[in-house]
Amino acid sequence: MSEQMEELGFKSIEESLETLLRGDDGDLDAYLLGIGSQVDIADTKAKVHCYVVTHDGNDRPRVKDLARAVAARVLDYAIPRSELQKAHEQMVSNKSTAKFVELVVKAKKLFSDAPKSGEGGEMLLYMLAQAKLRLPQVLCKMSLKTNSRLHYNGADALHMSYDKTEDKLALYWGEAKLYGSVSEAIRECLDSIGPFLCDDGGTDARQSRDLELLSGYLDLGDSELEEALIRYLDPDDPMFNKLQYRGVCLVGFNESAYPGETESKKHQEVISSVEAAFSNWQLQIGRNLRSRSPLHDFHMEIFLVPFPSVSKYREYFLGEINHG
């Protein structure tokens, strides 16, 4: 191991990971209002965060604007850092943004045009993990797709942080699910993320392929950080014993508290209805976690986002991605 790596201590890893964050913690504040944040789920290690879609001045839910804001991060989400750095260097060199335009076109072509695609939810999870939890993305999975109509076969997201309290490198496996009912969304999300957290190693472990890809495609713009993290990701290296799996989830679902297309309802009415339902949603999450033991014993951050219509959000997101 090089002297530089020996000098790269835990604090340096923490600080280096923080430099990978894009945007700031207010990126979604105009579109999503927090109802509850870091709410503990009894007898689990999960915390829940609940957000409602804001209304405009005419009391219409801003779902279209939310979809636009999420789609606007297409370069940050889908293009590796090294390619963005080259485009930036070209712009500094010749004052032209042509390379960035090419990358936008490339990024949009990576997305599926299927009406039921979950990629709008995956991008929203990416933004929530960064803005609200300050967890940077460490694998640009969209760039690994070989067919835009096919989804990446693995976790929906991979984010990372360093936990000084536990003296562990935390790898967050992410799953995003958008369903008509909250119970179905919770169930499907936990069923999907469970194997990534609970499989305890071996050749057939659910995590093995993503760990290989993460090790092989780390593109963080920091060679020392990449070299250090690869040790944590190598099952044959003692540093792997300090890698802790955690979960970050988006559970999106339809909520009747919002006004219908021909109705009018004040935002405060929606907020009050969601606040009244929030405790029941927490209970559902707790029951589902405990019934999937040992999933309840993993650190998890779960975002609940009730929508007027998840299908409309998907439609608007696809419209933004495919625009032009």
How do residues 36-58 score in pLDDT, each as one tens digit?
Answer: 999 999 999 999 999 999 999 99
Task: Give pLDDT tens digits for 250-259.
Answer: 999 999 999 9
pLDDT for 131:
96
Q: Give the integer Cα–Cα distance in Å for 277 and 39.
A: 14
CB 110 within 8 A of CB 78: yes
Q: Give the integer Cα–Cα distance in Å for 9 and 257.
A: 49
Both tokens of residue 237? Answer: 């290296």
pLDDT for 199:
85
pLDDT of 315 over the 70 cut: yes
Number of structural domains (the chain) is 1
To the nearest 10°, the Cα dihedral for 255, 249, 151, 161?
Answer: 150
Of the chain, the percentage scoring pLDDT greater than 90 comes to 77
User: H helices within the chain, ranges in order?
Assistant: 3-7, 10-18, 63-71, 74-78, 81-94, 98-109, 119-133, 182-198, 208-216, 223-233, 267-290, 310-322
Task: Give pLDDT tens digits for 260-312.
Answer: 887 889 999 999 999 999 999 999 999 999 999 999 999 999 999 999 999 99
Task: Give pLDDT tens digits for 166-199.
Answer: 999 999 999 999 999 999 999 999 999 999 999 8
Question: Can you give the residue range of the structural domain that contains 246?
Answer: 3-322
Query: Can you tell me which residue has the tokens 């650190």?
Result: 299
Q: Give the integer Cα–Cα distance in Å for 44 and 29.
A: 28
Mean pLDDT of 7-28: 82
pLDDT of 226 over the 60 cut: yes
pLDDT of 153 over the 80 cut: no
Which residues, 6 or more positions from 296, have their beta carbon under 8 angstroms from its beta carbon?
43, 44, 45, 46, 289, 290
Both tokens of residue 217? Answer: 């495609």
CB 225 within 8 A of CB 16: yes
pLDDT for 183:
98
pLDDT for 116:
86
Q: Give the integer Cα–Cα distance in Å for 169 and 211.
A: 14
pLDDT for 106:
93
Mean pLDDT of 91-118: 92
Going by pLDDT thresholds of 50, 70 and 90, the confidence category of residue 205 is confident
Which residues, 6 or more positions from 41, have their beta carbon under 8 angstroms from its beta carbon?
47, 48, 282, 285, 286, 289, 302
Amino acid at 159: H
Q: Give the integer Cα–Cα distance in Å for 184 and 178.
A: 9
Both tokens of residue 22? Answer: 């894009």
Task: State the DSSP code for 61.
Answer: B
Going by pLDDT thresholds of 50, 70 and 90, the confidence category of residue 3 is very low
To the nearest 10°, the Cα dihedral for 23, 315, 285, 52?
Answer: 60
pLDDT of 5 over the 60 cut: no
Tell me the chain's radius of gyration from C-alpha atoms: 20
Going by pLDDT thresholds of 50, 70 and 90, the confidence category of residue 103 is very high
Q: Please list the residues that pair with 176 across neighbouring strands.
A: 250
185 phi-psi bin (left φ>0, alpha ψ -120 to 50, beta other): alpha
pLDDT for 290:
97
Length of the chain: 324
Q: Give the integer Cα–Cα distance in Å for 39 and 296.
A: 15
CB 115 within 8 A of CB 314: yes
pLDDT of 148 over the 60 cut: no
Mean pLDDT of 208-221: 89
Going by pLDDT thresholds of 50, 70 and 90, the confidence category of residue 152 is low
In the Cβ-directed half-sphere of 323, how many Cα atoms lie within 13 Å?
11
